Amino acid sequence: MDFSEATNPCHQAFYVSAIDGKRAARIAGPFDSHDEAIAHVEPVRNLAYDITPRSHWWSWGTCSLPEHDGRQCPIAIN
């Protein structure tokens, strides 16, 4: 499956995201494509674990926005 087809076609900013209980956050990005964000999930998850071992229990994935809103993500990988 081409994951880029599963995203909102109007969105242009893609992020690695994490969910911890009721909290969700953009952790790294923005990336130019959903596929690029997916490729960064594992490296970002590993970096997060080095920073806070409790991140091992978080749910990891991607999210997107129509455009980057200027907010900084905690992990700068790009």
Mean local confidence (pLDDT), 33-38: 93
Prediction pTM value? 0.83
Name residue, tokens 């590993």.
46
Q: Are 73 and 26 in contact (CB under 8 A)?
A: yes
Domain membership flag for residue 71: no
Question: What's the structural domain count of the chain?
Answer: 1
pLDDT in tens, 46-78: 999 999 999 999 999 999 988 888 888 777 765
Domain membership flag for residue 73: no
Domain membership flag for residue 54: yes
What is the domain range of residue 36? 3-65
Give the Å distances, CA to CA, from 75 to 41, 45, 46, 51. 11, 10, 11, 10
Domain membership flag for residue 76: no
Domain membership flag for residue 72: no
pLDDT in tens, 18-28: 999 999 999 99
Using only C-alpha atoms, what is the Rg of the chain? 12
